[in-house]
Chain A
Amino acid sequence: MAESPDPVIRVRGLVSRFGTQLIHDGLDMQVAAGEIFAIVGGSGTGKSVLMRTILGLRRPEAGTVEVYGRNIGALPRSELGSFVQSFGVTFQNGALISSLTVAENVQLPLREYRGVRGTALEEHSALCLAMVGLPPQSAGKYPAQLSGGMIKRAALARALALEPKLLFLDKPTAGLDPISAAAFDELLLYLHARLGLTVVMITHDLDTLFRTCDRIGVILDGAMLCGTPSGLAANPQPWIQAYFHGPRARAAAGEGHG
């Protein structure tokens, strides 16, 4: 893997351990500015653990995690909070606050961290909803009244509310029908191009991988193997072959001989 001069995320020699169970064993990973990077791996290989470690929600047993040149593991708790605010994060099931409307969910971080009030708040949440393609009338709805696709978009709007340069998405298209998932891919590319975002996502959606990602990192035996989607697909490693050339993969890769 080429050393990019000034990566947004640089993970070196990461070791994560739960009791005697070793999850990551000297994992290295780099994400360059402006990239869309996907983390893939089988169940239990520590994709979510890696993301939580990068977000500072978990301290690594060994190794360093640098985001924008700052060592997340060494940041004091008081600074960690304000540093993490400069990332946008969406969770698999949206994690919208169920007792607040969509607009109030989007306004929550602004109200809390920026001291924005009144019509400014309304205008900004309208902007965030418009950016993710939600109709204005969805602003007054509660999460329980939204479809799965709209929940993902509302969660993305909330993640964008503080205008992050770095966006983490946990399985952004899981549970969506293919049309909504494809629409979400296009939305991501659209926002990525216009806002200059760096995106790190965990996904198993092969369509999303091939459509949106610049590079993919596969977690194998506690380490990471990085490459472009087409480059990795040519890797002879058995798990990667099974992943990219299984019956479900061929159609997504457009090989068409399945």
Chain B
Amino acid sequence: MPRHPPTDEPGVSSLALEGGGGAWRLVLGGDWSARELGPLRVLIDALPPTLPGAVTCDWSAAESPGIGPTWALLNHLARACASPLSVQHLNPPRHIAFLEDLRAGGGTAPHPAEAGGAGRPVERLGRWVLAQSEQTRLFAEFLGRIITVLGRAVLHPRALRVPSLTRHLYETGVTAIPIVSLIAFLISVIVAYLGAQQLRLFGADIFVVDLIAISVLREMGVLLTAIIVAGRSGSAFAAEIGVMRLNEETDALQAMGMDPIELLVVPRVLALILALPLLTVIADAMGIAGGGLLAHFQLHIPWPQFIGRLHAAIAPTTFWAGLIKAPVFAALIGLVGTYRGMRVRDSARELGRLTTLAVVQSIFLVIFADALFAILYVRLDF
């Protein structure tokens, strides 16, 4: 048994072809161990593609020949020589018989790549449409199951899983307060600062207050909060449920007669629907505070004047126009995140792909829904 790793430096691997005209001699030398598979492969590929006649391989000078290099050489000889009988080995390594047995068993049969090639454009379009309609059907089923659980909860409030709900309320709501506050505050300061630069041209600095109040309360407070929450909690929902799917935990729950939708999905979605409006109120307050501070220190608007202007700027509906959107956004984020999580199967890559998709889709849906709200409000004159 050779000591491993070898203590003395082995010679440089070599492969020499001698003779010709029907009597070839291959002389192997130097390090033929598995470590040298890459360089040896280059030497083997440099051999002539056909070797008509008898071939003798002299292994005497090859040091600790490995299986990989031996296999590569045997494969080449099998392709190059007319018949396996025309190859003779001198002092071969002891695993050569084993490898020849494997070869005889068809060990090198090329394996076809898994089906699923590109296909023609029409075919691809067809497959895409089928996949999309299947997705739609699955999502409808998912929604239906959630509604069933909610219906059950009306009769049996235990189905609401209050302990789980409070945990998610804490994780999606309370722990998000610092980042939501900070972002709302900073964005509002930036908007007020840039807005003031423009308004000053008209001597209308005071309207910065209107700018802040309306933009934060109607749009930015809720939209920024929703986007932050989509990034924080939408991804967490998809990843948590996805890992449970990979560990067969959801199957285990089902096998024990429990509904994963009731245990995992509904508490998360409901917690988000409760948390997002509350976070929005905090974001609104922080936004107004940020604008107010900037107005005070940068534009030198005194507090009483700021508050008076604020009262004048805010219509009774302004605050509600923003807040009403929050539960809708929350439902979108929660549904997309948990749905994507429930679709995870088989592999870690799938988990990553669906988590990414959950965040991207929920942010897109939030902005799309915001656009619909904008149109609706204009039509209703809200």
Chain A interface (Cβ within 8 Å of chain B)? Answer: 33-34, 68-69, 83, 86, 97-99, 101, 103, 110, 114-117, 120, 122-124, 126-127, 129-131, 136-144, 162-163, 165-166, 194-196
Contact = CB atoms under 8 A, between A and B. Distances in A.
29 contacts: A69-B3, A83-B5, A99-B350, A114-B35, A114-B37, A115-B38, A116-B37, A120-B38, A120-B41, A123-B72, A123-B108, A126-B107, A126-B108, A127-B67, A127-B99, A127-B102, A136-B109, A136-B111, A137-B111, A137-B112, A138-B111, A140-B112, A140-B113, A141-B114, A162-B34, A163-B33, A194-B94, A194-B98, A196-B94
B156 interface: no
B349 to A, nearest CB: 3
B68 interface: yes
Interface hub of A83, A122, A142, A163 (most chain B Cβ within 10 A): A163
Contacts of A117: 38
B102 A130 contact: yes
Interface stretch (B118-126, B253-261, B340-348): B340-348
A97 B348 CA distance: 8
Interface residues of B, number: 37
A172 to B, nearest CB: 20
B140 to A, nearest CB: 26
A129 B112 CA distance: 15
A163 B347 contact: no
A257 to B, nearest CB: 39
A36 to B, nearest CB: 14
Which residue, A127, A138, A140, A162, has most C-beta atoms of chain B within 10 A? Answer: A127
A130 B34 CA distance: 17
Contacts of B37: 110, 114, 116, 120, 124
Contacts of A68: 3-5
Contacts of A143: 347
Given A68-B3, A140-B114, A130 B66 contact: no
Given A99-B347, A124-B72, A127-B67, A33 B102 contact: no
A194 B34 contact: no
Nearest to B346: A144
B346 A98 contact: yes
Contact of A34 (B1, B34, B72, B102): B1
Interface in B38-77: 38, 41, 66-68, 71-72, 75
Given A123-B72, A144-B345, A196-B1, A131 B102 contact: yes
Given A123-B75, A130-B107, A195-B67, A144 B347 contact: yes
Given A120-B38, A123-B72, A86 B114 contact: no
B209 to A, nearest CB: 54
A154 to B, nearest CB: 13
Contacts of B4: 68, 86, 165-166
Given A68-B5, A120-B41, 12 more contacts: A110-B37, A116-B37, A116-B38, A123-B71, A123-B108, A124-B72, A130-B107, A140-B112, A163-B67, A165-B1, A166-B4, A194-B95
Contacts of B38: 114-117, 120
B178 interface: no
Interface string B320-353: 0000000000000000000000000111111000
B22 interface: no
Contacts of A137: 111-112
A144 B245 CA distance: 13
Contacts of A126: 107-109, 111
A114 B66 CA distance: 13
Which are the 7 A-B pairs with shortest beta-carbon distances?
A130-B107, A99-B349, A98-B347, A163-B34, A144-B346, A139-B111, A33-B1
